[in-house]
Amino acid sequence: MQAKVLVVDDELEMCNFFKFFLEAKVEEVVVAQNGREAREAFQKPFHLVLLDLKLPDTDGLTLLREIKEQHPMCEVLVMTGYATVKSAVEAIQLGAFDYLEKPFDDLDALEAVIDRALARALTQGEPLEEDLSKRKEVLEKIGLVAGRSEKMQHLLVIAEKLAQKNITLLIRGETGTGKELLARYIHAVSPRAGQPFLAVNCGALPESLLESELFGHEKGAFTGAAGQHKGIFELAHHGTLFLDEIGEASPAIQVKLLRVLETGEILRVGGEKPIRVNTRVIAATNAPLEELVEQKRFREDLFYRLDVVTLTLPPLRDRREDISLLAEHFLGQHYQQEEAPRLSPEVIGALTSYEWPGNIRELANVMAQVTAICDRPVVLREHLPAKILKGISEDMKKNSGAPAGTLRVEQQWLAEIAANLENFAEQVDFTAGFELPYFLEELKKAVARSTRHLIKRALKEAGGSYPRAAEWFRTTPRVLRYLNKEKRC
């Protein structure tokens, strides 16, 4: 490969190992044994950096930030033999491609990860086609609509990497954000995908019944226990157990959950012999567990067991660019044998402007209501529930009489463009001959030109700073460079 690799590790043996391991594969391998040498080395760009998190003169995470700031297209694999899993996961959240645990027992697996990181770097940071294809297939299978928002795409990338690790995860998010769907996605892309995925709501069952459901019971353990019963932990052996609303679990259940996480063993109700289980636990909550710990309603030791790795789902109001896509998805679910009606520009504006306190679940319910009353090929404002229209009216007052559903300038212009295109489609005489491929290609070019012009204006205002312009556009410098047709390593 025409690739350059930097190895940063304070152990000379490890540096020599990677130099020998990679020299036949890549163009150049440079080694550095501390932060000072690493900073000198990455004055020039590299395609891949293998970075130890524990260095004698600096923190590995600090060095990671510097590398990604100076060379955003450079991929970084962090190595950890001393740091906690939490630090390694933080590295991924800061932009590392993945983390490697020392010692490297499986050299084939190590080589595979390095090859994938190099392939990503050599494609200018673009996702690999096989990754995108697999992601799309799994998302469609479990019914999770990821959308276009940068937050969700970033969350999925992190979730995919963590899915490969045998660690407990905690998913946080408001009610209705799709915590169980994210847990199902993690299971589906993990090595446990062929094994059971079971879910239980810790707040939906009384304590005695929940204990029996989770851990099982022996015959005669209590009145009505006519036979032996396997619990969900046993049934999910080698698979994944999703514990929803973990903050609602009683103190007694919390003690038993802590034991399972610490020892990997359960004890059936009425049983005397511990049973070993290999079950991955993914917990979820919409409650502030830190506050519950302070109030003595949630065990501190269990909290720390669960909080090793946390994924937070953004509320729908923080990913408004996905609302129309989600709305169309839910609408389509009610029209399997016929074409679903289109959303009019004013309806898209109204849905995008609403705050969605119930998040995705509320949006799904709203589209079900729309289906019940809409008998036209286009969904109009009159088909929306009163609460959506009420929210628009209140927003209009706040925005000095701005038209309903056009609270942001991009929404207003897109609605007008969509309306003009629909009027054009109604008036054009296509029977006289209409070159559709030419029309679509020119439309695509016009969008690209307008986007580049928009980015260049922003860059001029930002003094050429891509990070500052990206902050205004609510995206990343990498995306702006791609849209502006500027490729940099």
79, 155, 321, 434 from 69: Cα distances, Å: 20, 20, 27, 49
pLDDT above 90 coverage of the chain, percent: 50
- Beta bridge mates, 54: 59
The number of distinct structural domains making up the chain is: 4
d(CA 87, CA 55): 14
C-alpha to C-alpha distance for 257 and 255, rounded to whole angstroms:
6
Residue 161 and residue 299 in one domain = yes
Average pLDDT rounded to a whole number, residues 268-295: 93
Q: Coil, helix or strand for 197?
A: strand
| pLDDT tens, residue by residue, 336-393 | 767 888 898 889 889 998 999 999 999 999 999 999 998 888 898 889 998 888 755 4
pLDDT of residue 431: 84
Quick count: other Cβ atoms within 10 Å of Cβ 460? 10
Mean pLDDT of 59-79: 92
CA distance 179 to 312: 9
Per-residue pLDDT tens over the stretch 140-165: 888 888 888 888 988 998 999 899 88
Residue 132 maps to a domain: no
Tell me: do 198 and 209 sit in the same domain: yes
> What is the per-residue pLDDT for 403?
43
Same domain, 289 and 303: yes
Residue 106 included in any domain: yes
Cα–Cα distance between 313 and 324 in angstroms, integer? 18
In this predicted structure, the answer to whether residue 488 has a pLDDT above a threshold of 60 is no
268 and 358 part of one domain: no
The DSSP H or E segment spanning 131 is: helix 129-142
Does the pLDDT of residue 243 top 70, yes or no?
Answer: yes
Is residue 173 in some structural domain? yes
Summary mean pLDDT of the chain:
87
Q: Which domain CATH number covers 368?
A: 1.10.8.60
Distance from C-alpha of 423 to C-alpha of 22, rounded to nearest angstrom: 60
Domain range for 482: 429-489
Placement of tokens 């953004």 in the chain: 314
Are 35 and 86 members of one domain?
yes
**Residue 396: band (very low, low, confident or very high) from pLDDT cuts 50, 70, 90:** very low
Band (pLDDT 50/70/90 cuts) for residue 277 is very high
Look at residues 376, 393, 427 and tell me which one is the last residue of a structural domain.
427
Task: Check residue 331 and give its pLDDT.
Answer: 92
- 222: domain CATH number is 3.40.50.300
3-state SS string over 40-77? HHCCCCCCEEEEECECCCCEHHHHHHHHHHHCCCCEEE
Q: What are phi and psi of 253, to 5 degrees?
A: -65, -40
Report the pLDDT value the prediction gives residue 404, as an integer from 0 to 100. Answer: 40
Q: Has residue 16 got a pLDDT over 90? A: yes
Given a contact cutoff of 8 angstroms between Cβ atoms, the answer to whether 53 and 86 are in contact is: no
Q: The tokens of 228 are what?
A: 């032996």
Beta bridge partners, 78, equal 51, 99
Whether 206 shows a pLDDT value over 50: the answer reads yes
User: How large is the average pLDDT for residues 81-92?
Assistant: 75
Domain co-membership, 115 together with 166: no
User: Residue 132: is its pLDDT beyond 80?
Assistant: no
- pLDDT exceeding 70 applies to what percent of the chain? 91
127 is a domain residue = no
pLDDT at 401 over 60: no
Per-residue pLDDT, averaged over 307-329, amounts to 92
Whole-prediction pTM value?
0.75
Whether 4 has a pLDDT exceeding 70, the answer reads yes
Asked if residue 301 and residue 364 are part of one domain, the reply reads no
Let me know if residue 141 belongs to a domain.
no
Sign for the CA dihedral angle at 37, 43, 46, 49 comes to positive
434 and 399 share one domain: no
Q: Which of 64, 127, 138 is nearest to 99 (CA)?
A: 64
Q: Are strands 280-285 and 169-172 parallel, antiparallel or unpaired?
A: parallel
> CB–CB of 55/11 below 8 Å?
no
Tell me, yes or no, whether 131 lies in a domain.
Answer: no
**184, 297: one domain:** yes
pLDDT surpassing 60 at residue 83: no
Q: Indicate the pLDDT class of residue 218, thresholds 50, 70 and 90.
A: confident
Q: CA quadruple 251, 252, 257, 262: dihedral positive or negative? A: positive
Average pLDDT over residues 201-207: 90
96 and 156, same domain (yes or no): no
Cα separation of 242 and 43, whole Å? Answer: 46
In a domain, 366, yes or no: yes
Q: Which 8-state DSSP code applies to residue 266?
A: E
Whether residue 322 sits in one domain with residue 304 = no
Is residue 17 scored above 50 in pLDDT? Answer: yes
Q: Which of 385, 408, 427 is the last residue of a domain?
A: 427
- The pLDDT assigned to 196 comes to 96
Q: How many CA atoms lie less than 13 Å away from 339 in the CB half-sphere?
A: 7
d(CA 125, CA 73): 6
Q: Is the predicted pLDDT of residue 463 greater than 80, yes or no?
A: yes
Asked whether residue 286 falls in the same domain as residue 325, the answer is: no
- CATH number for the domain spanning 62: value is 3.40.50.2300
Is the residue at 134 inside a domain? no
58 burial (CB, 10 Å; 0-12 / 13-18 / 19+) is middle
Predicted local confidence at residue 77, as pLDDT: 95
The sign one gets for the Cα dihedral 464, 467, 473, 477 is positive
- Provide the β-strand partners of residue 201: 244
User: Which of 253, 284, 312 is the C-terminal boundary of a domain?
Assistant: 312
> pLDDT at position 290, please?
95
* Position 489 pLDDT exceeds 50: no
Indicate the pairing of strand 197-201 with strand 240-244.
parallel
Report which secondary-structure segment, H or E, holds 6: strand 4-8
HEC assignment per residue over 285-326: ECCCHHHHHHCCCCCHHHHHHHCCCEEECCCHHHCHHHHHHH
Whose structure tokens read 């003690």? 255
Cα–Cα distance for residue pair 263/144, rounded to 1 Å: 33
pLDDT at 422 over 80: no
Which alpha helices (DSSP H) does 201-288 contain, by range?
207-215, 232-235, 251-263
Residues 324, 326, 332, 334, CA torsion sign: negative
pLDDT on residue 400: 39
**Confidence band, pLDDT 50/70/90 cuts, at residue 407:** very low
pLDDT band at 408 (very low <50, low <70, confident <90, very high): low
Q: What is the chain's Cα-based Rg?
A: 27
Residue 345: both structure tokens together: 């520009």
